[in-house]
Amino acid sequence: MSGVLLWVVGPKGNAASLLNLEPRASKKQRRPRLYPAGVRVVSVVSAISSSVASPSRSSVERVYEVVLKQAALVREQRQEEALDVKKPEEAEGLTGGDLLNEAYERCGEVCAEYAKTFYLGTLLMTPERRKAVWAIYVWCRRTDELVDGPNAAHITPKALDRWDKRLNDLFEGRPYDMYDAALADTVSKFPVDIQPFKDMIEGMRLDLRKSRYMNFDELYLYCYYVAGTVGLMSVPVMGIAPESKASTESVYNAALALGIANQLTNILRDVGEDARRGRIYLPQDELARAGLSEEDIFRGKVTDKWRAFMKEQIKRARKFFDEAEKGVVELNAKSRWPVMASLLLYKQILDSIEVNDYNNFTKRAYVGKAKKLLSLPVAYGRALLGPSTD
């Protein structure tokens, strides 16, 4: 089950606490937390403690390397903006101005159709940021459709390899079609790196070959691939407020946390739907500790054991949402509201699961229109608070 989410919103309806969940860094550079405090991932500790003897790395370490690289690109951009460095204008190449404008408009139409609330929020952004977000959204949606769309049954690893090659061409200024042209233009204007895009494709590969996750370390990496990546893609476009005193890495970690939170919410909402497809995205070791088995999932009966298990899963997802909210206020003023709105709306899906008495086997949790409308002014008010100045 892949669920593509801009720092932001899903295009379809669809770190162990013992050690602060991340490896300790030197005194010169303490690594920012990639897991919210209190989130427990047993396998991370053992993976870190044996990293000297083994080339294998924990999910935390692997994702942290990507975060650092993305943060460095944006930090460089912010320094250039502070110095008012003018970049040379990009040549139009094979795409004329009118065709490029049409390409962006098409991307906007797709966003408006499948992510209405978020689309309205993007209208508050500057035209350049708005169009760039639309282009990223469409690429993510198309990627997700490869394994979750109407032709998913016919998708092979080779098809994903071709999509990967097409991505390389796009980043080198050789778009295949109009939608690619919009993204190619976007990555030429913003410090967007190719790695998160490639990692998302890797998440699609996982969906083709893997339907069980032994522990949260494995699940965390999957959530990063299919959702956390979009946060990393989006930060350079959303922009960080010039007055923000937060580190670039902390803003990226918040974007990552929102992607993880959204995907965990997708997983908890869609337990029954995924089970009917033979998939279980819940940590196997945690199910076992709760006295639950795969048969219990396929049987789809809500029991006291299931309620207790779900309460812990929801608690963890909320911690990631809380971590994400700390970074939203650090974004550029015109980008905060749509991100905050999507965060609050998605977080309420967890409330709906509770209202349904944790029956995510036969009942689909959703946020009604009335609650959505009530959330928008709340999100706007929080967005007005602005970044920290400490």
Give the pLDDT score at 373: 87
In what helix (H) or strand (E) does residue 30 lie, and over which residues does it extend? none
For the chain, which ranges sit under pLDDT 70?
A: 1-35, 37-56, 77-96, 389-390
d(CA 323, CA 230): 16
Q: Over the stretch 111-170, which tens digit does the pLDDT of each residue have?
A: 999 988 788 889 888 999 999 999 999 999 999 999 988 888 888 999 999 999 999 999
Beta bridge partners of 331: 240
Which residues form the domain of 237?
210-389
Give the pLDDT score at 34: 62
Query: 144 lies in a domain?
Result: yes
Q: Which CATH number fits the domain that encloses residue 174?
A: 1.10.600.10
- Is the same domain home to 185 and 223? no
Query: 326 lies in a domain?
Result: yes
User: Beta-carbon neighbour count of residue 292 at 10 Å?
Assistant: 18
Give the pLDDT score at 98: 85
d(CA 154, CA 169): 24
Query: 203 lies in a domain?
Result: no
- Is the same domain home to 184 and 333? no
- Is the same domain home to 273 and 365? yes
Q: What are phi and psi of 240, to 5 degrees?
A: -100, 135
Beta bridge partners of 283: 213
- Is the same domain home to 188 and 218? no
- Is the same domain home to 229 and 363? yes
- Is the same domain home to 228 and 368? yes
d(CA 23, CA 6): 28
- Is the same domain home to 172 and 305? no
* Contact between 374 and 359 (Cβ < 8 Å): no
Query: 227 lies in a domain?
Result: yes
What's at 96, amino acid-wise? G
d(CA 93, CA 99): 11
Q: Which of 295, 161, 144, 328 is nearest to 229 (CA)?
A: 144
C-alpha atoms less than 13 angstroms from C-alpha of 106 in its C-beta half-sphere = 15
Number of domains making up the chain: 2
d(CA 260, CA 219): 10
In what helix (H) or strand (E) does residue 282 lie, and over which residues does it extend? none
Q: Over the stretch 222-238, which tens digit does the pLDDT of each residue have?
A: 999 999 999 999 999 99
Measured CA distances, 374 to 175, 229, 345 (Å): 41, 29, 10
Measured CA distances, 58 to 27, 89, 216, 221 (Å): 21, 41, 11, 9
- Is the same domain home to 154 and 261? no
Query: 5 lies in a domain?
Result: no
- Is the same domain home to 265 and 358? yes
- Is the same domain home to 343 and 216? yes
- Is the same domain home to 368 and 245? yes
192, 223, 254 - which closes a domain: 192
- Is the same domain home to 242 and 311? yes
Query: 91 lies in a domain?
Result: no
Give the pLDDT score at 44: 33
